[in-house]
Chains A and B, each alone.
Chain A
């Protein structure tokens, strides 16, 4: 009996086939390399987003090429463009429909701060209605900038305490 228990314990001879790690590292590794973005294309930033998905820049090199147009199937909303007040409610509802864990990337000046639209009709930064993880500067940002932002998001995902968050209700309210 005691022998059989010992067999299941840590044995340096099986190092070649067993990887010892933390659950966080494994979960985050899976999450960060299979980001499924939801292209919330609202203005010219969406053109750059499409360029990032096309062959020249090829976002799939970094593991986030599976753009889904349904919030149910995606976990990263890329807000690419000007968010008007009229669109704000729709955007928040789409965000609410996405399954956790989920992240938001504010792509470009308009999504980040309202940009050049200092106007009665434009939401001055999408972080007023959804929690934003990554802000990308530019008007519109080059595809390289988007890729850099998405890689930053991957680093952020990698550093999260995922296991702890599994049992906690996610806080998605705006501070």
Chain B
């Protein structure tokens, strides 16, 4: 069932490169050809469904830092196709929106914006989808600690009444924080301290 579209696509889009993949075909596409390429995929290869749209943070010192990933599915040929596209190295990183081609991209792009801060140009309403409006950070970036960063709770009236804040979650000895150690005593989660995200900043590798 696996048929390679790469050679056919390469003839029309010379700048695409093949991307290592263990399951379905994957290609890297430069962002300036992304819309054209995706239109071509949809019209001529029957990839009529955008299954998933996500992004990768390759590391704070990498260039390019952010890559968006698109998973397409053809409901006629029953095969998948994966496209990776590098974002610009600006802050915020930018990418072209695909909402005009697949309406399903709308919420996925909002999620990628929410988690990584990627601005999708041409998106009809690029607002946060999981975190609340006005949250100042992008949680899935590599420089964001799992515990979170102290900031204000949404809802001014509630903050006034309760004096509550968004605080870094305690990670000491929490569930699923076991360590591979020799004795049970050392394996016990409460004996294991990985509190760099609370008291100490995350070591930047």
- Measuring CB to CB, which residues of chain A are less than 8 angstroms from any residue of chain B? 85-86, 88-90, 92-93, 96, 114-124, 128-130, 173-174
Interface string of B156-176 (1 = CB under 8 A from A): 011001111011111100111
Q: Are A118 and B163 in contact (CB under 8 A)?
A: no
Which 9 pairs show the lowest CB-CB distances between chains A and B?
Answer: A120-B148, A89-B155, A118-B169, A89-B158, A86-B132, A118-B174, A92-B158, A116-B175, A129-B162
List 6 contacting pairs A-B, 8 Å CB cutoff, sorted by A: A93-B158, A115-B175, A116-B176, A119-B169, A121-B148, A123-B164
What residues of chain A lie closer than 8 Å to B139, measured between beta carbons? Answer: 120-121
What residues of chain A lie closer than 8 Å to B145, measured between beta carbons? Answer: 120
Our pick among A92, A120, A174 for the contact of B146 (Cβ within 8 Å) is A120
What residues of chain B lie closer than 8 Å to A128, measured between beta carbons? Answer: 162, 164
**Distance, CA A115 to CA B176, complexed state (A):** 11
Best-surrounded residue of A88, A114, A124 (most CB of chain B within 10 A): A88
Interface size on B, residues (CB 8 A): 29
The A contact surface, by secondary structure, is: loop
Q: Are A88 and B158 in contact (CB under 8 A)?
A: yes
What residues of chain B lie closer than 8 Å to A93, measured between beta carbons? Answer: 155, 157-158
**Distance, CA A3 to CA B28, complexed state (A):** 104
Given contacts A119-B148, A173-B162, contact A124 B170 (CB under 8 A): yes
**Distance, CA A83 to CA B161, complexed state (A):** 18
Q: Are A89 and B154 in contact (CB under 8 A)?
A: yes
Given contacts A118-B170, A120-B147, contact A174 B131 (CB under 8 A): no
**Distance, CA A86 to CA B165, complexed state (A):** 12
